[in-house]
Structure 1
Amino acid sequence: MVNNSTLPVISIVGWANTGKTTFLENLVAELRSRGVRVGVIKHHRGPFELDKPGKDTWRLARAGAVCTAIAGPGKVGLVIEMEGDPDPGAIAALMSGVDLVFTEGYKKGPYPQLEVRRAGYGEERPAARAGQLVAVVGERSPGMENVPCFDVGDIDAVANFIIERFLDKVLD
C-alpha cells in the first residue's frame, strides 16, 4: 500500500460510448488479481443521490449533516457535501488502503490520461489533453504517435504498463 501523498491517479478518458467503463472494469479485475488495490472515481456531470430517500443517512443529511457515513463489517460508505466539482486528488486522499486510483472522466483534470478510442465513436480529435496522454487503448489517431498503443482486449499488456510506469517505485 502506498502513502496517499504519492498515490498515483490516472484518468481514463474518451468520448461517449467508446467502452471506457468495460475496459476499466477488466483492467481493475486484472490489477486486483495481481494484488494491486485499486480505487475508482467515476465523474458525473450532474447532481446525483447515493442515499435512499427515507433511510437514516438520507434523513440526517437533510437535517443538515455535511458528511454522513454508513459502516458495517468490511465496508464504509461516505457522503460528503462539497461546493462545486471536487478535485479527484482530494477524493483519492480519502481512499485509504489503495495503491492506485483511476478516474473515469475528468478530461480537464491535471492527471496522466489513458485514452480509450473506438472507430466510429466520438470525434477524430483526441479526448485527452495535450501533454497528459500516456497511452492509447484502441484506435490511434493523429497526434498520438509518441505514446504506447494497446489493443482493447490486451488487458495484460495495459496492466504491465500501469505497474511499470506508475507502481514499480511505490510498491517496492
Structure 2
Amino acid sequence: MKLIGLAGWSGAGKTTLLTRLIPCLGRRGVGVSTLKHAHHRFEVDVPGKDSWKHREAGARQVLISSEHRWALMTEHRGAPEPDLRFLLSRLSPVDLVIVEGFKRDTLPKIEVHRAENGRPWLHPEDPQVKAVASDTRPPGNLPWVPLDDAEGIADLVLRFAVDAAAWMG
C-alpha cells in the first residue's frame, strides 16, 4: 500500500482535486482509498435514526450495515483524537491511500495552492512537501503542475507516494 498527502489551506481545492484524481488513477488501474481530516465537528449519521440514537445513548461504537455498504462510527468519549498512523491502520489494503488534510503530519505531500485565497505557501516551511499543484507557479524548485491538470498531478502522486508500512514504522 502506498501513501501520499494532499495538503493546503481551506478553499485551495483539495477535495475538488481528489474527486478528479480518483477516477484518473482508477483508469490507470490504481485502487484508491482516502482519509480526510475534518477541522470541525462533523456528523456522518442522521439525527433521529436508530444508529444515531445508539450513539446518543452512549454507545462507544456503532456498526451499521446494509447490502450496499457498512460503516463503523466510534465516539471518542473524551479520549484524544487518534493520530494518522492509527487511522491508516484501520483501512483495508489498497494500492494507494491519499490523505487530505493532516498538513502538519510528516508524511510526503503534494501542496495544493490557490493564489486567490491569499494564504502563504506551505512548502517553504515543510520539507515533506515534494511537489506543488497550483494555479500559479510556486517559488523555488519543486516539481509543479497546474491545478487543472489532473493527469499531471496523478503522475506526481504516483512518483512521490511512499510505502505506507515503511512510513508507519
Give TM-score, length-normalised by structure 2.
Answer: 0.82
Which residue in the other structure is 1:151 paired with? 146
Tell me which of 65, 68, 75 is aligned to 1:81: 75
The offset of 1:167, in angstroms, is 6.9
Tell me which of 85, 94, 99 is aligned to 1:98: 94
For residues 106 and 66 of structure 1, do their structure 2 counterparts lie closer, same or farther at Cα, with a shift above 3 Å needed?
A: same
Which residue in the other structure is 1:15 paired with? 9
* Alignment check: 8 A CA contact 2:34 2:98 kept: yes
The offset of 1:96, in angstroms, is 0.9
* Alignment check: 8 A CA contact 2:108 2:162 kept: no
Which residue in the other structure is 1:137 paired with? 133
Which residue in the other structure is 1:122 paired with? 118
* Alignment check: 8 A CA contact 2:25 2:154 kept: yes
Mapped partners of 1:112, 1:140: distance in 2: 20
* Alignment check: 8 A CA contact 1:15 1:127 kept: no
The offset of 1:85, in angstroms, is 2.6
Which residue in the other structure is 1:30 paired with? 24
* Alignment check: 8 A CA contact 2:133 2:145 kept: yes
Tell me which of 149, 153, 162 is aligned to 2:157: 162
For structure 1, which runs of at least 5 residues remain unmatched after alignment?
A: 1-6
Mapped partners of 2:124, 2:75: distance in 1: 29
For structure 2, which runs of at least 5 residues remain unmatched after alignment?
A: none
State the Cα RMSD in Å: 2.3
Mapped partners of 1:61, 1:51: distance in 2: 10
3-state SS of 2:72 partner: strand
Mapped partners of 1:133, 1:85: distance in 2: 24
Give TM-score, length-normalised by structure 1.
Answer: 0.81
* Alignment check: 8 A CA contact 1:88 1:103 kept: no
For residues 114 and 165 of structure 1, do their structure 2 counterparts lie closer, same or farther at Cα, with a shift above 3 Å needed?
A: closer
Mapped partners of 1:45, 1:54: distance in 2: 24
3-state SS of 1:120 partner: helix
